[in-house]
Amino acid sequence: MTGPGPSREITFFPGDSERVMSTKAQMIKSETPRKFAVRHRNRCKLCGRPRAVYRKFGICRICFRNLASRGLIPGVKKSSW
């Protein structure tokens, strides 16, 4: 092959070499010892949502907003200025 630029090895399946490297890396990662047996994830007590959970209340931001709007959380009120 002639022309400017670096010469490239042509493979039958494009991306095949990346796939081999990624599976090799995954195998090495799976063989390494884990830091923790189980990773704990805080979840909302009402709906089970894993993200945006307020530790103080134990519920997610969406449930918190709904309950606060209805006045069901003591000491919390909707702000207005």
The pLDDT tens digits of the residues spanning 5-34 come to 555 555 455 555 556 667 788 888 888 888
Only one residue has tokens 């207005």, namely: 80
Residue 47 lies in a domain: yes
Q: pTM for the full model?
A: 0.53
57 is a domain residue? yes
Domain count, the chain: 1
For the segment 41-79, what is each residue's pLDDT rounded down to a tens digit? Answer: 899 999 999 999 999 999 999 999 999 999 999 998 878
CA 13 to chain CA mean position, Å: 30
Report yes or no on 59 lying in a domain: yes
CATH number of the domain that residue 70 is part of: 4.10.830.10
For residues 53 and 66, is the Cβ–Cβ distance under 8 A? no
Distance CA(41)–CA(52), nearest Å, equals 11
Nearest alpha carbon to residue 44 among 20, 63, 67: 63
Residue 31 lies in a domain: no
Show the domain range for 68: 42-76
Tokens coding 7: 């010469």
